[in-house]
Structure 1
Amino acid sequence: MIQLLSNSTTDKKKHILIAALQLFSTKGPAATSMQEIAELCGISKGTLYLHYKSKEELQESVVSYCIQTIYDKIAIVERERELPPRDKLRRQIEILLENFLELREFFIAQMLDMANRGDKGFPLEKWPEGMLAHAMKLFSQKMVDIYGPEVLPYSVDLALQLHSMMGSYLKLIVTELLSIHLHRMAEYLVETLDIIAEAKIRDQREPFIPKDLWLPWVEENLHKHDSRKHPLFLIKEIRHAVRSSEELEERLREDTHDSLSILEDEFFELKPRRAIILGMIANLKQVAGIQELVQELHQVFDMYLKWRE
């Protein structure tokens, strides 16, 4: 379980989220009171309600916090430029499995709570905005990077099949029927995906969910919620645009890559320095052909800095 941090190392709101996560995991959301959460945080119940108006709002925030934390870890793998695309996918699947195992008690408590209340699941509209669309775009691009452009029409089918396989094996983790090595499970899932993808490319059959159905939804949600794109993904897009540009002089290209590297490094600092970030973004705004992406990056960094303050 994620360790409870002291007020000296994290802000009060994140402190509350982690305390609630611990109590929800051990007692279940229904059996946990706001008073207990306040006591674990060392604050008054009134102070707790200043941050969260109800236990339901706090519960939704904890789920979003878990999702965002996992999303950040997956984004970090994208930064590892020495890893081939297939190895990145395997590592990202392994991260999902590791975090599910780490948060197993919390997710079980969530499912039991939803079953008792008659809920069908965590509403999609309450997921961090645009995250599903960005995840779908990332997965589609990853499939193309691994298997080639011929696989693009089958991206949704492959995503659903991978999700189904992961769900089946995760049940073994939840029920503790078997002791499973997560690294080997991730590798096995990618090996199975290899077989499915190669068969679809070879047979050239119609995808079950055509690209014409899912691609407009992805593009619409990306346009609507661009502010939720992860900074590391945007930096990757800018790097690609810089590499692809034939107009940039080599010196400017190198300087641009240096600015992007400094931004990446700063993002991983415990307290990113706003002055450094703004300085690098100012440098990037002078580079022709990437201004729109840089402006988007500026907005996203503002959001992430506020989230991490």
Structure 2
Amino acid sequence: MYDYYHGSAILQGDMPMRRKDVDKRRHILITAMRLFSSKNYNRTSMQEIADICGISKGSLYVYFKSKEDLLLNILQYYFQYIEDQIMLVEEDTSLSTREKFMKELEIKLRHYIENQEFYRLQGQEFSGLMDPNIYRYIHRQNIAQVKWFEQYLIKIYGDQMKPYAADGAFLLIGMIKQYMELIILKQFPLNVKKVVLFLTDQMDSMIKGMLDGDCEPLMNEHLWSLYLAEAGGEERVHPLELIKQMKDRIKDGSIPEIQREEADQSLTILEQELMSMQPRTAILKGMLHNLEPIHSLKSLRMKLADSLQIK
């Protein structure tokens, strides 16, 4: 199942959930997140969540099979929201790489400021969880944040930045955390746009110093590989990004023109369907089926089907 919590449907089997159910599910997620944040996850019961949501405990278990399942869905809900916003920026061809970086960084900082209860929840110690996917998901998200900075530094400053990109990412994250503390804990009236502009200007000076100097990077290739290995497996890629990768691949001229046109049409329909309010599983399955004859897309097609949990 691929969840579209924000303004669209949640697919279950071959039918999208009704809007009423989507809204109810979202209400439960937000209510539970606030309870977990204020009371602590381990001290909050499913009965208490059900009472505050105004539903029976049995009805709560219709939406979420356990408290751990609810916690995992809360994490996915909030991180998916950022991911969807960032994907819109990534697809804006009018923006330069630097402009995309600044817009996406602003999205991340505003999300952090506006959803403090969620980030406090993440900081808790979750003891005795049976589902290892929760620990794994949080850890992968943390790794993904560092990789986002590392990859953007290389995109902006070129291949010469590769040896220093990890160090640059850690330095930037440290600077950002300090300013976020001033805004959130000390209530300093700092404008987020100005913070982003200031940081990117200082980033230029910092990177110039790294590239012009003769110092060795602290996070060398070996240490960076060890750090990434802790993520424990391949990172999840957004379905729209997978579609973009397939569109790019069919442009290389390796498949017949007729087949290429049909594939492009199927990918466009997939893209439109995923961006609609109620993505239809039958349409998604049909378009994925249309792509099966193109062997060069097999790996990406299977990743997309897995991401959407379509067999």
Q: What TM-score results when the alignment is normalised by the length of structure 1? A: 0.76
What do the CA deviations read for 1:99-133 (whole angstroms, capped 9, x no partner)?
1111124434765x659x9xxxxx99342574455
1:203 Cα offset (Å): 2.4
What are structure 2's unaligned runs of at least 5 residues?
9-17, 128-132
The 1-side partners of 2:242 and 2:35 are apart by 36
Structure 2 residue aligned with 1:165: 175
1:295 aligns with 2:302: yes
Instruction: With a CA cutoff of 8 Å and minimum separation of 6, indicate the structure with the bigger relative contact order.
Output: 2
| Range with bigger deviation, 87-96 or 293-302 | 293-302
Q: CA deviation at 1:286?
A: 3.4
SS of residue in 2 equivalent to 1:143? helix
Equivalent of 2:114 in 102, 107, 121: 102
2:254 aligns with: 247
Q: Distance in 2 between matches of 1:124 and 1:188?
A: 35
Distance 1:124 1:190 in 2: 33
Question: 2:203 aligned with 1:193, yes or no?
Answer: yes
> Counterpart in 2 of 1:275?
282
Which residue number corresponds to residue 234 of structure 2? 225
Q: State whether structure 2 residue 210 is matched by structure 1 residue 203.
A: no
Query: What does residue 103 of structure 2 align with?
Result: 91
Q: Match of 1:266?
A: 273
**1:239 & 1:211 partners in 2: Cα distance?**
32
Contact 1:131 1:229 in 2 (8 A): no
Tell me the secondary structure at the aligned position of residue 156 of structure 1.
helix
Moved more, 27-36 or 171-180: 27-36
Give me the whole-angstrom Cα distance separating, in 2, the residues matched to 1:193 and 1:45: 51
User: 2-side partners of 1:108 and 1:128: how far apart?
Assistant: 13
Summarize the Cα distance change of 1:248–1:200 in structure 2 as closer, same or farther, 3 Å threshold: farther
* 1:44 correspondence with 2:51: no
Alignment partner of 1:65 out of 77, 80, 83: 77
Contact 1:21/1:62 (CA < 8 Å) preserved in 2? Answer: yes
State the 1:234 CA deviation: 2.1
Provide the C-alpha distance between the structure 1 equivalents of 2:150 and 2:254, rounded to a whole number of angstroms: 29
Describe the superposition over 1:130-153 as per-residue Cα deviations: whole angstroms up to 9, x where unpaired: 445555554443222211111122
Paired positions, count = 292
2:222 is equivalent to residue 212 of structure 1: yes
**Residue number in structure 2 paired with 1:235:** 243
Query: Residue 161 of structure 2 corresponds to which residue in structure 1?
Result: 151
Deviations 1:210-249 (A, max 9, x none): 1233236647858x335x2221332333344344x24346
Instruction: Tell me the SS of whatever aligns to 1:127.
Output: helix
Aligned: 1:125 with 2:132: no
Q: Which runs of 5+ in 1 are unaligned?
A: 118-122
Residue 77, structure 1, aligned to residue 89, structure 2 = yes
Q: CA RMSD in A?
A: 3.8
Query: What amino acid is aligned across from residue 254 of structure 2 in structure 1?
Result: E
Is residue 286 from structure 1 mapped to residue 293 from structure 2 by the alignment? yes
Indicate how the Cα distance of structure 1 residues 32 and 198 shifts in structure 2: closer, same or farther if over 3 A, else same.
Answer: same
User: Does the Cα contact within 8 Å between 2:50 and 2:56 map onto a contact in 1?
Assistant: yes
- CA distance, structure 1, for counterparts of residue 121 and residue 145 of structure 2: 26
Do the aligned partners of 1:173 and 1:180 also contact (CA within 8 Å) in 2? yes
* TM-score, reference length from structure 2: 0.75
CA distance in 1, matches of 2:210, 2:247: 31
Deviation at 1:186, TM superposition (A): 1.8
Q: Secondary structure at the match of 1:10?
A: helix
User: How much has 1:166 moved relative to structure 2?
Assistant: 1.2
Residue equivalent to 1:120: none
Identity of aligned residues (%): 32
- Partners of 1:175 and 1:134 lie apart in 2 by 25
